[in-house]
Structure 1
Amino acid sequence: MRVSGVDRALAALACLAGLLGVALSAAAAHIPGADSLKTSAQFLLFHAPAILALIGLSAAGLVRAGVARIAAGLLVLGLILFCGDLSVRAWLQHPLFPMAAPTGGFALMAGWLAGILCAVIPARRGA
């Protein structure tokens, strides 16, 4: 079993999401009215293991690698936009850019939809 550079990068980004989720959870616990940071932390912590699972399933040959990478990539992109926007709004009092959070939310939903495709499209034999 060989893990590609893309898979390693996605796994590293998933771990970064977990790290940031813990950090934002701690920050939210100490900042009054930091509900958006709490939401951001939860999203990071919920999606980090999903990204790792997609990469693991791909590396094990249990799902099509391309579909798993697309799903994981969409989840990463969605986290960057959604959580980035919520965090920037909490700390800097302005959005990341207009429609960043909704765009991130749609990317997250597309990532989960691609995850469904991973589950229902059979892996290639001998891959």
Structure 2
Amino acid sequence: MDPWTRILLFLAGLMGAAGVAVAAAAAHMGGGDNLVTSAHFLLFHATALAGLLAVGLQLGRGRIALQAGASAIALGAVLFSGDLAMRALMEVKLLGGSAPFGGTLMMAGWLIVAGAALFARKA
């Protein structure tokens, strides 16, 4: 496994753990819809990231594009979910525009993955 894949898989694990923690916080502390949405995005995208990386290990052509898309998805999910969680728990924004930028980055990442699928070939 190359270092890029290893780092992304590590990040997927952290995102999954954070998603469970945020879901527990939403269930026990409140926090409203923003906190629940934050947990969902972390959990769904952590799982998707692990799946994309598993597919990437089978690819020759298209692997780098898939990893780039997965990286954008991971960064976008962290920014989006982090901003929503900060708003719910601390009533502050993470950074100006983190949630919309993170959401846009996730969409771009998924479009990159879709493009990678058009040109992907087995190793």
Same fold (TM over 0.5): yes
- Give 3-state SS (helix, strand or coil) of 1:61's partner: coil
CA positional deviation for 1:33 = 4.4
Specify the alignment match of 1:7 in structure 2: 5
Specify the alignment match of 2:33 in structure 1: 35
Specify the alignment match of 2:82 in structure 1: 84
Tell me how large the CA RMSD over aligned residues is: 1.5
CA positional deviation for 1:28 = 0.3
Q: Which of 41, 56, 59 is residue 58 of structure 1 equivalent to?
A: 56
When the two structures are aligned, how many residues end up with a matched partner?
Answer: 123
CA positional deviation for 1:63 = 5.6
Alignment of structure 1 residues 111-122 onto 2, 5 Å: 111-122=109-120
Task: Name the TM-score, length of structure 1 as normaliser.
Answer: 0.90
Higher relative contact order, chain-length normalized (CA < 8 Å, sep 6+): 2
User: Structure 1: any 5+ residue segments left out of the alignment?
Assistant: none
Deviations 1:43-74 (A, max 9, x none): 01111111111111111126611111111100
8 A Cα contact 2:15 2:78, kept in partner: no
Percent identical across equivalent pairs?
41
Specify the alignment match of 2:93 in structure 1: 95
**Structure with the larger helix share:** 2
- Give 3-state SS (helix, strand or coil) of 2:59's partner: coil
Task: Name the TM-score, length of structure 2 as normaliser.
Answer: 0.92
